[in-house]
Amino acid sequence: MNDTLLERVNAYQRRAFRELPDFRVSTIDQAVDFVNERGFIFFWPLKGLPFPSLWAAVAGNRPVADEHDNPGHITWGWKDSLLGTKRLYYSKLIKHRNTFISNQMLPNFYALSPNYGDFETDYLVLYSQGSLSSEAKALYESLLFNGPLDTLSLRKSANLSSAASSARYTQAIDKLQSDFMVMPIGISRAGAWNYAYTYDITARHLPELIDQTRFIDDDQARRAILTAYITTMGCCDKSSIRKLFSWGDQYTAKILNLLELDCVIQKAYLNPEDKKEIWVLPELTC
């Protein structure tokens, strides 16, 4: 072939990301299929970090529009209507960004989270270890003892409703979401904007996750996640994996080696001139 590996990777990503007109997503069912196909995607594109997003799959590879009536913003309504349906998992997760995860891939992410199996007491262990802030503990206990709450009720229950506590609330709720401890399950017509998320404890809303995760060890989880990532991207390097998942280099190297031994990926050079070693899908080297 006369085209370069870089050109083949770029063409592969445009198809995988659904950014080409013939591959675009135009219905909510297609959006669900897209997430199931990729395993996990962002809701909005993340600048400087190539990865599929629902916005780009609907509107193309362009900045998110400020205008509320832009056709691409149909994704917002889809996202809201999917909350609580258990068709997909949605929360602030990877890089603390709004992320969709398929039900099939979800147990692998949950297996790498700090949850041990008893959502009523695990958080106390995390708090005693210093990995859960007092604000996050208060938010979690508000949901634990009161059931699902909208954002305003949750902040009030946790004594974080003042303007001065907004930053601490955001940091705490983002931490709880990225650790798969809480998740949005619906929209409440509350507050000045008549729009607020309703949150619940993840393991209470999805009790089947505990059993689904029980026999997945860390290596199995990372392997499944990294396989999905490389299948989406067509290629990867250690730096891109580190940016997205924040895994230690030793874990990344171990899984890459296993995938290479199984011929899932192979080493190559995207640009022979700079000699930067990457891993690619074998089909892209032909």
From first to last of its 286 residues, what are the pLDDT tens digits of the chain?
457 888 999 999 999 999 999 999 999 999 999 999 999 999 999 988 899 999 999 999 888 888 877 878 899 999 999 999 999 999 999 999 999 999 999 999 999 999 988 999 999 999 999 999 999 999 999 999 999 999 999 999 999 999 999 999 999 999 999 999 999 999 999 877 789 999 999 999 999 999 999 999 999 999 999 999 999 999 999 989 988 998 989 999 999 999 999 999 999 987 777 778 899 999 998 8
Within this chain, do residues 65 and 10 fall inside the same structural domain, yes or no? yes
Residue 153 in domain: yes
Q: Is residue 240 part of a domain?
A: yes
Instruction: Output the pLDDT for position 120.
Output: 96
Q: Domain check: are 209 and 226 in the same one?
A: no
55 and 126 together in one domain:
no
Helical residues (DSSP H) of the chain, grouped into ranges:
5-16, 28-38, 54-59, 74-82, 106-111, 122-128, 134-146, 151-157, 166-178, 202-205, 208-213, 218-233, 238-245, 249-261
Let me know if residue 245 belongs to a domain: yes
Evaluate whether residue 43 is within a structural domain.
Answer: yes
* pLDDT score at 48: 85
* 90 lies in the same domain as 135: no
Burial label for 35, CB within 10 Å (0-12, 13-18, 19+), is: buried
Q: Is 243 exposed, middle or buried (0-12, 13-18, 19+ CB in 10 A)?
A: middle
**Where a domain ends, among 104, 138, 171?**
104
pLDDT at site 84: 95
Q: Domain limits at 184?
A: 122-213
Instruction: Answer whether residue 202 is part of any domain.
Output: yes
Considering the domain boundaries, does residue 111 fall inside one? Answer: no
Note if the pTM is more than 0.85. yes
pLDDT of residue 193: 79
Task: Give 29's contacts (C-beta < 8 A, 6+ positions apart).
Answer: none
Residue 113 lies in a domain: no
CATH number of domain containing 158: 1.10.10.10
- How many C-beta neighbours within 10 Å does residue 265 have? 25
Number of domains observed in the structure of the chain = 3
Whether residue 130 is found in the same domain as residue 206: yes
- Which of 191, 213, 235 is the last residue in one of the domains? 213
What pLDDT score does 76 carry?
Answer: 94
- pLDDT at 1 (0 to 100): 42
> Residue 229's domain is classified under what CATH number?
1.10.10
